[in-house]
Amino acid sequence: MKIALVQLNYHIGNFNANTEKIISHINKAKTEGAHLVVFSELAVCGYYPHDLLERKEFIDNTQKAVGDIVNASTGIAVVIGAPTVNTSKRGKRLYNSALFINNQKIEKTIHKTLLPTYDIFDEYRHFEPNKSFDVVEFMDKKLAITICEDLWDNQPTNNSFTQSKLYITSPLEELSKLNPDLVINIAASPFSFDQEGTRKSTLVRNAIEYSLPLVYVNQTGAQTEIIFDGGSMFISHTGEVMHEMAYFKEDFRVIDTEASQKKEVQTNQPAIAKINDALVLGIRDYFNKMGFKTATLGLSGGIDSAVVAVLAAEALGSQNVRVLLMPSKYSSEHSITDAVELAENLGIQYETVNIQPIVDSFENALSPIFDGTKTDVTEENIQARARGVLVMALSNKFGNILLNTSNKSECAVGYGTLYGDMNGGLSVLGDVYKTDVFNLSRYINRDREIIPENIIVKPPSAELRPDQKDSDSLPDYDILDDILYRYIEQNQSPGEIISAGFDAETVRQAAHMVNINEYKRFQTPPILRISSKAFGFGRKMPLVAKYNG
């Protein structure tokens, strides 16, 4: 059987564009002699539509698009994901479904059984779970069609409190009783650098356990925070990955399940390279899908804004990035020259506005009220907020979307100023720890020096007071980030982290800072997700909880 695996970048709710793209690839599959063409989970409407699923017109548009796809299926079979209506009088109104279409007819509708409600997922909010199992018969073969999480009933966990078997039912175990010849899994599986290998091992484990070849079709592209990396695969019944498609871009491949396979897999890339590609894709799709063209940011001469400027230039083109240098009396001469050198290396437009007169005017206006008080973080925040006003003015005047440059370490411990350096329409590094920002800078400079070396090697500083360094207020990032990763991603308690050999006071201080700054993170822009536990949708904490764990 010749099967076309189609890995596409969809746009939520853009039914015309999605349908046109799907039909063009159905026609391509026909041209290349495929008997069956497979698309990903919720391909028709895009993943994940959230509460758009509660709007009748959204479902009506989905059904109309499905009708157009059915009409285009002459002489070929199609597996594609779409929401379908639950016609019974009980349960949720919708199913998350895979449609098996054959020669202009929907022959079978398969519903998703396991509906994830952890991390960024909230599918049980909208969908009714499947409770019955059947295979699809096509070309004298029995196809076990599953949807993403249906193969994840047994998951590895790095948290002793979390169960590896999240679900009562194992869909593939039930389907295996019907003696299928092939497993098809349509997915919307997002990228995370610390779980990317887990996905492949899970698919391989299923192929081996049930001794069945497995077709896996994922999607690519970014939907605001969530980035899909693709990597669709065909895995033999012995668990060998025979075909592996591209990462972070669209791809198309026809495989023959009966013929001897010539192995075609991707060259393995280091995690930092994948993070780089994910962030570039996240920026590009956010702008393209929102209809934005140009970006701006404050270029400080520090590592975070430097990395964001490079990523933005790669994603949008240098001609579409405009930066503002905003020195104060505390800015080192090196910071200014480093920022200028970077801007010129990238070929991006830059201007300089000295914020000191603006800051002085604020302080003068407040001096009668502040009389008799000591200078503290208030004056530092005035500088950050003055910069925030200026870059937002640039955004308003010229339509440039402001990119936020705060990293995950800073977001975690509240080392940022609301309505100042936390401004922005999109947070590029909000899920990237500071140590990985440095790793990104080295990766960016792998072939030539784009980011000036001085930006990379100088001690991190907000430059809001004389000789300020981040280490004045925070533990060294090598130590802090390890603690934060254990506390946030791995859900380890302070006691567990201390038992691993970390200084008790440092651990408790870090955990306390994370807990008390939830209100700040609640007000941040959307954060591009590259880990298994990003701030935002993926980590929901109460703002007013009294919790010291």
- In percent, the amount of the chain with pLDDT more than 90 equals 88
Gap between the Cα atoms of 459 and 336, Å rounded: 15
pLDDT in tens, 527-546: 999 999 999 888 888 888 87
pLDDT tier for residue 164 given thresholds of 50, 70 and 90: low
Distances (CA, A) of 262 to 205, 257, 259, 352, 431: 21, 11, 9, 57, 38
Mean pLDDT for all residues in the chain: 94
pLDDT tier for residue 472 given thresholds of 50, 70 and 90: confident
pLDDT in tens, 206-219: 999 999 999 999 99
pLDDT in tens, 363-403: 999 999 999 999 999 999 999 999 999 999 999 999 999 99
pLDDT of residue 468: 77
Residue type present at position 12 = I
- In the predicted structure, residue 158 carries a pLDDT above the cut 80: no
Is 411 an active-site residue? no
Catalytic residue among 21, 108, 112, 408: 112
pLDDT of residue 543: 85
Is 329 an active-site residue? no
Read off the tokens for 315: 């994603």
pLDDT tier for residue 197 given thresholds of 50, 70 and 90: confident
pLDDT of residue 329: 92
In the chain, list all ranges with CATH 3.60.110.10.
2-268
Question: Reduced to 3 states, what is the DSSP secondary structure of residue 169?
Answer: coil
Pair 82, 42: CB distance under 8 Å? yes
Please report which helix (H) or strand (E) contains residue 378, including its range. Answer: helix 377-398
Closest by Cα among 473, 466, 472, 469 to 375: 466
- In the predicted structure, residue 45 carries a pLDDT above the cut 80: yes
Mean pLDDT throughout 327-349? 94
Assess if CATH 3.40.50.620 describes domain 292-467. Answer: yes
Catalytic residue among 108, 123, 128, 148: 148
Gap between the Cα atoms of 187 and 409, Å rounded: 31
In the chain, list all ranges with CATH 3.40.50.620.
292-467
pLDDT of residue 548: 72
Q: Is 132 exposed, middle or buried (0-12, 13-18, 19+ CB in 10 A)?
A: exposed
More confident residue, 422 or 259: 422
Length of the chain: 549
Gap between the Cα atoms of 386 and 41, Å rounded: 45
pLDDT of residue 153: 85
pLDDT tier for residue 502 given thresholds of 50, 70 and 90: very high
Q: Is 231 left (phi over 0), alpha (psi -120 to 50) or beta?
A: left
Q: Per the CATH hierarchy, to which homologous superfamily does domain 2-268 belong?
A: Carbon-nitrogen hydrolase (3.60.110.10)
Please report which helix (H) or strand (E) contains residue 354, including its range. Answer: none
- In the predicted structure, residue 140 carries a pLDDT above the cut 70: yes
Is 41 an active-site residue? yes
Distances (CA, A) of 329 to 82, 355, 464, 467: 57, 9, 9, 11
Q: Locate tokens 């196809």: which residue?
A: 143
pLDDT of residue 162: 54
- In the predicted structure, residue 163 carries a pLDDT above the cut 60: no
Pair 349, 321: CB distance under 8 Å? yes
Residue type present at position 151 = L
Gap between the Cα atoms of 151 and 101, Å rounded: 22
Neighbours of 328 (CB within 10 A): 17
Distances (CA, A) of 451 to 142, 269, 477, 489, 528: 55, 22, 20, 29, 22
Catalytic residue among 21, 41, 128, 149: 41
pLDDT of residue 81: 98
pLDDT in tens, 428-447: 999 999 999 999 999 999 99
- In percent, the amount of the chain with pLDDT more than 70 equals 98
- In the predicted structure, residue 159 carries a pLDDT above the cut 80: no
pLDDT in tens, 298-319: 999 999 999 999 999 999 999 9
pLDDT in tens, 89-113: 899 999 999 999 999 999 999 999 9
Whether pTM > 0.85 for this model: the answer is yes
- In the predicted structure, residue 157 carries a pLDDT above the cut 60: no
pLDDT tier for residue 547 given thresholds of 50, 70 and 90: confident
Cis preceding-peptide flag for 48 (omega within 30 of 0): yes
Pair 546, 207: CB distance under 8 Å? no
Question: Reduced to 3 states, what is the DSSP secondary structure of residue 290?
Answer: helix
pLDDT tier for residue 332 given thresholds of 50, 70 and 90: confident
